[in-house]
């Protein structure tokens, strides 16, 4: 599993796997037939996934960095794609030649998409068209930050992007104009993603990775909760059932 997203049925999640996307009912552990099979698998695998304001699921991919025996392998070249899966099962490709896809997040007004390539140490901003669900006007938003590289992100209700820094030991809150607002120090090195939750959406839940962590990171791979003074945004729902 590489990502999860809500659907328009409260009891069903869309699960992004390396090889495709399936629907899953957590309460009963019923796993439905794949609704999307990724043709690049196993040379290339899916990595990131999130639903847009219009109910389509966006997934990003990368060269598969895991050997059949589970050991890690190096990434050579830019084989990743940025793909949109619509509720009617249409599939469209919106970006190619990606090293490692990460960060899929929309601004509060739904008119801007943020997307990152970890290997390029760059987060781009795009104009998002609510009518067509297409993106355009790619431009660098946040790049060459010295601490680690961009992994997953979320956006708060004030429009600030919270970016997890893999191998950087921190989360950086970035203003809508691309300037650093603050840096949140973490007790481990590899920060993978973050999302707001709780009854008021003021708890930032943060995931971390043990893989590749130094021996001193004895808490690596843990899940953290940070109380904040700002609220997050409600998560969009994949409209797979059309309700």
Q: Which CATH code, of 2.40.10, 3.40.50, 1.10.287, 3.30.300, is assigned to 147-235?
A: 2.40.10
The 10s digit of each residue's pLDDT in 177-186 is: 999 999 999 9
Please give the pLDDT value at position 5: 97
Mean pLDDT value of segment 37-43: 94
Catalytic positions, please?
Answer: 151
CA 116 to chain centre: 9
Domain residue ranges of the chain, discontinuous segments joined by +: 1-144, 147-235
pTM for the predicted model, two decimal places? 0.96
Tokens of 38: 């990724």
Please give the pLDDT value at position 77: 87
The 10s digit of each residue's pLDDT in 131-188 is: 999 999 999 999 999 999 999 999 999 999 999 999 999 999 999 999 999 999 999 9
| Cβ 46 vs Cβ 60: under 8 Å | yes
- Judge whether 1-144 and 147-235 match in fold: no
* Cβ contacts of 1 within 8 Å, gap of 6 or more: 15, 16, 17
CATH fold of 1-144:
Neuraminidase (2.120.10)
């Amino acid at each position: 599993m590489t990502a999860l997203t809500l659907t328009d049925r409260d009891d069903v999640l869309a699960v992004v796997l390396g090889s495709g996307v399936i629907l899953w009912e957590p309460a009963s552990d019923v796993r439905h037939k794949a609704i999307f099979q990724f043709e690049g698998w196993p040379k290339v695998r899916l990595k990131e996934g999130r639903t847009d304001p219009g109910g389509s699921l966006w997934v990003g991919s990368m060269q598969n960095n895991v050997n059949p025996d589970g050991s890690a392998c190096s990434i050579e070249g830019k084989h990743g794609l940025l793909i949109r899966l619509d509720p009617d099962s249409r599939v469209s490709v919106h970006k190619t030649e990606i090293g490692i896809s990460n960060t899929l997040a929309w601004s509060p007004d739904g008119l801007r998409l943020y997307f990152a390539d970890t290997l390029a140490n760059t987060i781009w901003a795009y104009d998002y068209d609510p009518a067509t669900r297409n993106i355009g006007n790619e431009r660098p938003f946040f790049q060459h930050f010295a601490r680690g590289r961009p992994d997953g992100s979320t956006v708060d209700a004030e429009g600030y992007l919270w970016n997890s820094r893999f191998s950087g030991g921190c989360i950086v809150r970035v203003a809508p104009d691309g300037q650093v607002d603050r840096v949140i120090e973490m007790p481990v090195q590899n920060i993978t993603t973050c999302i707001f939750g709780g009854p008021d959406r003021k708890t930032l839940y943060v995931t971390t990775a043990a893989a590749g962590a130094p021996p001193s990171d004895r808490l690596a791979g843990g899940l953290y909760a940070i109380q904040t003074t700002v609220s997050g945004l409600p998560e969009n729902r994949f409209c797979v059932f059309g309700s």
